[in-house]
Amino acid sequence: MKDEILTTPSATTLFEKKIGADDTNIFMAGSLYSTDYTDILDTASLIADSYNIMGLNTANANILEIESNDCILIKESWLDFSLSLFPNARYFTKEEQEKFDAFKKTKFKKFKFKF
Partner 1 sequence: MARIFADVIRELFPPISEDTKKRLKELLLQHKNNPYLIFATSLNQVISQGDIISNIPFLTLQEDETYLGEKHFAMLISHTCDFANDNTILFAPAYTIDLFKECFGNNEGLLNSLRDNLIYDKFYLPERDAYPELVVDFNGINSVSKKYILKNLEDKNSDKIASLSQEGYYYLITKLTVHFLRPENSELIREETI
Residues that bind partner 1 (CB under 8 A): 13, 25-27, 29, 32-33, 60, 62-63, 65, 69-70, 72, 74-83, 85-86, 88-92, 96, 99-100, 103-105, 107-113
* Distance of alpha carbon 100 from alpha carbon 105, whole angstroms: 9
In the bound complex, what is the minimum distance in angstroms from residue 16's beta carbon to partner 1?
A: 13
Which residues lie closer than 8 Å to 53 by C-beta, 6 or more apart?
47, 66, 68, 70, 71
Fill in the amino acid letter for 105.
K
In the bound complex, what is the minimum distance in angstroms from residue 49's beta carbon to partner 1?
A: 19
